[in-house]
Chains A and B, each alone.
Chain A
Amino acid sequence: MIKVENLSKTFGSKRAVDDVSFEVRKGEVLGFLGPNGAGKSTTMRMITGFYPATAGKVSVCGFDVSENPIAAKVKMGYLPEAAPSYQEMTVLSFLNFAAEMRGLRGEDRRKAVRRVVETCHLDMVLGQTIDTLSKGFKHRTCLAQSIIHDPEVLVLDEPTDGLDPNQKHEVRTLIKRMGETKAIIFSTHILEEVEAVCSRAIIIDRGRVVADGTPAELKARSARAGAVLVTLHGASVEAVKEKLSGIAALHHADVCPAPEGRVTVEAFPSPDAGAERDALAGRIAEMAIRESWKIEQLKTEEGRLEEVFRSITMPDTQLVKGAA
């Protein structure tokens, strides 16, 4: 539904977006990650046709955004960064305006406004002018205008920015639900959001796509991914160290004494262990049972998105296996 091909944007001599390509299909929620100033908003502005692209091509539902802007914009809803809206208008008149701009009249308009008011919980503030609203309400008012025409494609620039934890959760649930039937692209720098909502994530840094995959795939790039954490009872540090050295798939392990006679083990599989990698937890468990040590906790690390994000966008910190 959204197709971005070799998109670039320069401001003066500064290259804000550099040869970015990706695609978002129907039923997909794409998380757009990156540090501030990485080019997320610029990319989104080109997708929505606000900025003309310096090079490259964007098409939405098959319509080229620069050649056929109206047809593309009809299919799209957009929540700009910082959620701007006409301050002196009431929420109701603003939503009526947005609906009319989308060609909704009469009963259709009333229905659409009623639907988004319900979805975004705006019924309390309908008659208030927007400049008197709290940040959360302002944000939801702008979100409401972006979905008023039930678009097939949604572009949301930091949709949860400035919301409290409950509101954040609600917006995430909303995005996830809408993502089943639409193509959604949203930017954020809250990583847990990506894990909670996205079916795919792209990390962009200095205008370039540096990682693209499902949240699980991205997490697996973390140095900690596949590490096994065990807490044993009734063992000594020396004995554990000795027995661990017999496990072939193990690269190295940190063994530390813990209070009340426990021992904690953090075991890292060797990178070239292949299928044995995934069996590391099992091998350690077998060892403990053989030695009749009590296992209090056993867990395989999935890897942390934050770590991957940091290591990709700050290359001097070596936390990732394999380059982007």
Chain B
Amino acid sequence: MRTWPVIGTIAKRELAAYFESPVAYVFLVVFLLLSGFFTFSLGGFFELGEASLNSFFTWMPWLFLFLVPAVGMRLWSEERRLGTIELLLTMPVLPWQAIVAKYLASWAFLAIALALTFPVVITVNWLGDPDNGVIVAGYVGSLLLAGTFLAIASLTSALTRNQVIAFILALMLCLLLILVGFAPVTTMLSRFADIWLVDTVASFSVLTHFEGFQKGVLDTRDLLFFFSVIAFSLFTTGVVLRSHRAG
């Protein structure tokens, strides 16, 4: 069977499933409200007095920390709980194709959510004269960040039939990936560890790699980091799913 039509069919079904339940709309509203609140209120968009979306993107990792695991938690745990995984994997499709298809559908859903924040871009362009290249880079970085967290959520949702457990596990792993590069944590670490060690640990953080995008720099090392975490998580998802069936 050709790979892409099958992936397309599964992804289409998966994406439609998001919009067939009210959860999708709740998610979108919460995401848009929170991103607005963080940008304008906590981020001090107006007080900064500069035409940039810095306050918008700075909060993205923290927002995604809660919202992306919420999107990804049902990926495989629901299939296993309802037994539909048996249906899906006995159709002419290879497990990796199903994993990639479901992942891409959820990623597309997050991309839609991100795209719906376009009013902030319009606002900042209306108020001043921002560097739109930096804004595009920020969006690319946000999308990659969301994809990374989502791949981790895919892995934790394969581990358990319980969506709540999948959510919490994903949240904890994502939090770890943030904290190892979070300034207060790295400052604290540097008090009793050598600087090279702190830097090595921080290089595993999504924050470290997200920073470049915020400044408008597309670095291959950052891209490589995000894509390798995604690839590793999806590969492990496959291993976990197989181990359930192998007995």
Contact = CB atoms under 8 A, between A and B. Distances in A.
Contact of B84 (A12, A69, A78, A86): A86
Nearest to A142: B87
B86 A84 contact: yes
B220 interface: no
B92 A102 contact: yes
A258 interface: no
A86 B17 contact: yes
Interface in A31-86: 45, 48-52, 54, 69-70, 73-74, 76, 78, 80-82, 84-86
A8 B20 CA distance: 41
Given A10-B247, A80-B83, A80-B87, A86 B13 contact: yes
A100 B9 contact: yes
A87 B86 CA distance: 15
Interface string B72-108: 0000000000111011011111100000000000000
Contacts, number: 81
B5 interface: yes
A272 to B, nearest CB: 47
Contact of B90 (A9, A52, A80): A80
Given A103-B5, A145-B87, A84 B82 contact: yes
A52 B245 contact: yes
Contacts of A86: 13, 17, 82, 84
Contacts of B17: 86, 88-89
A10 B81 CA distance: 22
B127 interface: no
B16 interface: yes
B246 interface: yes
Contacts of A293: none
B86 A80 contact: yes
B90 A78 contact: yes
Interface in B200-247: 242, 245-247
Nearest to A10: B247
A78 B92 CA distance: 11
Interface residues of A, number: 37
Given A11-B247, A51-B245, A93-B16, A45 B86 contact: yes
A247 interface: no
A257 B8 CA distance: 75
A50 B245 contact: yes
Contacts of A273: none
Contacts of B83: 80-82, 84
A17 to B, nearest CB: 10
Contact of B247 (A12, A70, A103): A12
Contact of A49 (B90, B242, B247): B90
A102 B91 contact: yes
Contacts of B10: 101
Nearest to B9: A100
B89 A50 contact: yes
A51 B242 CA distance: 9
A88 B6 CA distance: 21
Contacts of A78: 87, 90
A74 B92 CA distance: 6
A51 B86 CA distance: 9
Sorted from nearest, which 7 A-B pairs have the closest CB atoms?
Answer: A84-B83, A11-B247, A73-B92, A48-B90, A100-B9, A80-B86, A101-B91
Interface of B: 1, 5-6, 9-10, 13, 16-17, 20-21, 82-84, 86-87, 89-94, 242, 245-247
Interface of A: 9-12, 16, 45, 48-52, 54, 69-70, 73-74, 76, 78, 80-82, 84-89, 93, 97-98, 100-103, 129, 142, 145
Given A78-B87, A84-B83, 16 more contacts: A12-B247, A69-B94, A80-B86, A84-B82, A84-B84, A86-B13, A88-B17, A89-B16, A97-B13, A98-B91, A101-B6, A101-B92, A102-B91, A103-B5, A103-B92, A129-B20
